Chain A
Amino acid sequence: QQPVQSPQAVILREGEDAVINCSSSKALYSVHWYRQKHGEAPVFLMILLKGGEQKGHDKISASFNEKKQQSSLYLTASQLSYSGTYFCGTLTGGGNKLTFGTGTQLKVEL
């Protein structure tokens, strides 16, 4: 079953912060985050492998709450280049079957 993301869409002014949430109905082994710009392929942002793990690069970070079967992506001091659709991808068992979430459209404006 597809993970559910919230919000579905968000509009920010440059410099504002945002949080994107990803919830699964199944136990999670790992969570991936990807960003897709219009007309392009999804691009990997980061992977979280353990419950409680937090990661970040630049001003984008993420956390993984294994018990709650949730992950959150944090974007701080947003830039125009952050615009796109963000997807979480979850692994819920052995193997490589990565299931993507419903997506969150993010638009950053001046």
Chain B
Amino acid sequence: DAGVIQSPRHEVTEMGQEVTLRCKPISGHNSLFWYRQTMMRGLELLIYFNNNVPIDDSGMPEDRFSAKMPNASFSTLKIQPSEPRDSAVYFCAITQEGGGNTGELFFGEGSRLTVL
């Protein structure tokens, strides 16, 4: 079964601090996505990778945000410095590799970030 593990599940930090969110796909995948969800803006695509290569980062809000995928099993989303308006739930999602790929997104459980 396809799946994604995200950590931390919850993070509370103070404005100005660096935040690193982690995503670990536990199955083969073609693409990996980072989404941000807020009440005001809904589910926004921040960036996505195909075969570990960043394809579209037009959704990354500003230079304070960066994402990496050093290998097929790991990705990070970093915010430095963090601001209160970054408070949101951040989801990592994958599309499954191989003949069963229907384009379905498999989401992790999300990382809830609160910046005070």
Q: Which A residues form the contact surface with B (CB < 8 A)?
A: 2, 30, 32, 34, 40-44, 47, 87, 89, 91, 95-103
Contact = CB atoms under 8 A, between A and B. Distances in A.
Contacts of B104: 32, 44, 47
Contacts of B55: 95-96
Most buried by B among A44, A91, A98, A99: A98
A40 B37 CA distance: 12
Contacts of B45: 97-100
Most buried by B among A34, A44, A87: A44
A20 to B, nearest CB: 15
Interface of B: 30-31, 33, 35, 42-45, 48, 50, 55-56, 91, 95, 102-110
27 contacts: A2-B42, A30-B103, A32-B103, A32-B104, A34-B105, A40-B109, A41-B108, A42-B43, A42-B91, A42-B105, A43-B107, A44-B105, A47-B102, A47-B103, A87-B43, A96-B30, A96-B31, A96-B48, A96-B95, A96-B103, A97-B48, A98-B45, A98-B105, A100-B35, A100-B42, A100-B43, A100-B45
A41 B56 contact: no
A96 B50 contact: yes
A4 B92 CA distance: 23
A90 B58 CA distance: 17
Contacts of B31: 96
Given A41-B91, A41-B110, A87-B43, A32 B48 contact: no
A42 B33 CA distance: 13
